[in-house]
């Protein structure tokens, strides 16, 4: 494997970073945090039409650029650095990957062009854990395995009807296309549901991270179209998507962590204490050196996982869990130490440090927390430690 990014990929990085510097500064992030949708539709379309970001991994025959997971990872890293409010993970990763890896050509032709151009927003509705009670406690933990699927799908007059609920659906309140995982009489299936379908109600959820929206979706005999999958194995498709989504999220976590480290280093250079910069003190030097080691190690893990996804490496499931577990911990450490270096000002609402910490914490739990992925890694390499498939609520 070639671990160096190509010049074309580095140019993509520079282009995306410059674009986000102009369109997604901290002031815009804070503005969008307070809006009902949580992102700017016009900017989303610009990302699709001017830069083609949503269609990077989409084949040219469906209106995309025909690239792969590495290019998507480059974009995810830059979106993490800028803390951009956009449904890229839900639409360009989860929904798009589901369609690309299913066996339904009709669904691809009908949905991928809109997702690639930014005209549509998609998402994948999977988990069904209960939300906390009024006291902030309780609620069933989120499961990321087939046993956690309780929403049912039944055939009626030649079509499918879905009944149940989904929790913590990324951008679920705004998505035009909701790919829903449901249980049929034969097993697990994946279904295409229109965002405005009859019987579907969507409720935004309050979450720790206001820059990434989640929602509860309730299904009351919602009409749906079942996606055809290879060998009819719906959960096999979902597992493939989750592995690739975990890799993309690991790349984003590297971006969040590297930006937090940059913020800490910049502040340590200018903040004076006892007549000299605090970065000259040994304790601060050691702290930042430890964070740098974690960030660069996370970058290597994420890049290796992106290459494994690009090359359809059979080791991808194990590599994806390894990258997700390591990058989650590294990202959380970097954002916590960034606040530590900033001291009192780092705890204030006005400083952006807390926004990066909140993204790090919620991303740590998304698709399963580090403990879950370490157990899953042990299982996947033949050292089964009894994983319970519970990855924590988000």
What CATH number is attached to the domain comprising 67? Answer: 1.10.540.10
Residue-level pLDDT at 138: 47
Residue-level pLDDT at 279: 80
pLDDT tens for residues 247-296? Answer: 999 999 999 999 999 999 999 988 878 888 888 788 989 999 999 999 99
Residue-level pLDDT at 140: 57
Residue-level pLDDT at 394: 52
Structurally, how many domains does the chain consist of? Answer: 3
Give me the mean pLDDT over the 187-197 stretch: 95
- For the CA atoms of 173, 129, 230, 385, what is the dihedral angle to 10 degrees? 140
In a domain, 199, yes or no: yes
Residues with Cβ within 8 Å of 307's Cβ and at least 6 positions away in sequence, in order, are 1, 2, 3, 70, 313
Same domain for 45 and 108, yes or no, is yes
Same domain for 330 and 241, yes or no, is yes
d(CA 334, CA 380): 28
Residues with Cβ within 8 Å of 261's Cβ and at least 6 positions away in sequence, in order, are 288, 291, 292, 295, 334, 338
In a domain, 389, yes or no: no
What pLDDT band is residue 167 in, cutting at 50, 70 and 90? very high
Q: How far is CA 322 from CA 100, 286, 315, 327, 377, in A?
A: 24, 26, 11, 8, 6
Please say which residue of 86, 120, 154 terminates a domain.
120
Q: What angle do CA 85, 3, 117 make, to 5 degrees?
A: 35
Q: How far is CA 48 from CA 100, 209, 383, in A?
A: 18, 25, 43
In a domain, 194, yes or no: yes
In a domain, 388, yes or no: no
Q: Does residue 386 surpass a pLDDT of 60?
A: no
125 forms beta bridges with 180
Give me the mean pLDDT over the 343-354 stretch: 90
Same domain for 30 and 148, yes or no, is no
Please say which residue of 71, 92, 120 terminates a domain.
120
Give me the mean pLDDT over the 357-370 stretch: 95
Residues with Cβ within 8 Å of 79's Cβ and at least 6 positions away in sequence, in order, are 16, 20, 86, 88, 252, 255
d(CA 111, CA 116): 9
User: Is residue 92 helix, strand or coil?
Assistant: helix
Q: Which of 54-63, 90-99, 152-161 has the lowest mean pLDDT?
A: 152-161
What pLDDT band is residue 344 in, cutting at 50, 70 and 90? confident
* Nearest residue to 49 (alpha-carbon basis) of 148, 143, 117: 117
Same domain for 247 and 219, yes or no, is no
What CATH number is attached to the domain comprising 208? Answer: 2.40.110.10
In a domain, 385, yes or no: no
In a domain, 287, yes or no: yes
Question: Which segments of 80-213 are extended strands (E)?
Answer: 122-125, 152-156, 159-170, 177-183, 188-194, 200-205
Handedness of CA 37, 121, 239, 162 (dihedral sign): positive
Please say which residue of 233, 264, 286 terminates a domain.
233
Same domain for 375 and 263, yes or no, is yes
In a domain, 75, yes or no: yes
Q: Cβ distance 191 to 203 under 8 Å? A: no
Here the tokens at position 143 are 């499961």
In a domain, 91, yes or no: yes
Domain of residue 190: give its range: 125-233
pLDDT tens for residues 102-126? Answer: 999 999 999 999 999 999 999 999 9
What CATH number is attached to the domain comprising 354? Answer: 1.20.140.10
Give me the mean pLDDT over the 327-337 stretch: 97
Same domain for 311 and 272, yes or no, is yes
pTM: 0.93
Same domain for 239 and 368, yes or no, is yes
Same domain for 204 and 261, yes or no, is no
Same domain for 18 and 130, yes or no, is no
Same domain for 359 and 261, yes or no, is yes
Q: How far is CA 135 from CA 132, 139, 393, in A?
A: 7, 11, 16
Same domain for 360 and 248, yes or no, is yes
Same domain for 327 and 264, yes or no, is yes
Residue-level pLDDT at 274: 87
Q: How far is CA 142 from CA 205, 213, 300, 387, 392, in A?
A: 15, 17, 29, 14, 5
């Amino acid at each position: 494997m070639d671990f160096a990014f190509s010049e074309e990929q580095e140019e993509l990085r520079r282009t995306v970073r410059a674009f986000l510097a102009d369109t997604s500064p901290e002031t815009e992030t804070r503005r969008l945090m307070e809006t009902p949708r949580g992102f700017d539709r016009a900017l989303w379309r610009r990302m699709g039409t001017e830069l083609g970001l949503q269609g990077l991994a989409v084949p040219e025959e469906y209106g995309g650029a025909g690239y792969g997971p590495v290019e998507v990872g480059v974009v995810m890293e830059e979106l993490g650095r800028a803390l951009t409010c956009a449904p890229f993970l839900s639409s360009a990763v989860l929904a798009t990957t589901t369609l690309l890896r299913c066996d339904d050509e009709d669904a691809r032709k009908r949905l991928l062009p809109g997702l690639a151009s930014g005209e549509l927003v998609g998402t994948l509705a999977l988990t069904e854990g209960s939300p906390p009670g009024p006291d902030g406690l309780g609620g069933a933990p989120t499961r990321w395995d087939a046993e956690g699927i309780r929403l049912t799908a039944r055939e009626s007059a030649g079509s499918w009807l879905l009944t149940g609920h989904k929790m913590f659906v990324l951008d679920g309140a705004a998505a035009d296309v909701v790919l829903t995982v449901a249980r049929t009489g034969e097993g697990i299936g994946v279904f295409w549901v229109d965002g405005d379908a009859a019987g579907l109600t969507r409720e935004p959820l309050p979450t720790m991270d206001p820059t990434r929206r989640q929602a509860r979706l309730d299904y009351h005999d919602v009409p749906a179209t079942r996606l055809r999958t290879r060998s009819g194995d719906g959960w096999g498709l979902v597992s493939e998507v989750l592995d690739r989504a975990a890799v993309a999220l690991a790349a984003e976590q590297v971006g969040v962590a590297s930006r937090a480290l940059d913020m800490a280093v910049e502040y340590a250079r200018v903040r004076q204490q006892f007549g000299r910069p605090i970065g000259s003190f040994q304790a601060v030097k050691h702290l930042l050196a430890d964070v740098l080691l974690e960030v660069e190690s996370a970058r290597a893990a994420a890049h290796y996982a992106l290459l494994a996804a690009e090359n359809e490496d059979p080791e991808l499931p194990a590599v994806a869990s390894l990258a997700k577990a390591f990058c989650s911990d590294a990202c959380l450490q970097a954002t916590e130490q960034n606040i530590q270096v900033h001291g009192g000002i780092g705890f204030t609402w006005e400083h952006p440090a807390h926004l990066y910490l909140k993204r790090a914490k919620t991303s740590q739990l998304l698709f399963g927390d580090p403990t879950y992925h370490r157990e899953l890694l042990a299982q996947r390499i033949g050292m089964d430690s009894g994983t319970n498939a519970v990855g924590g609520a988000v």
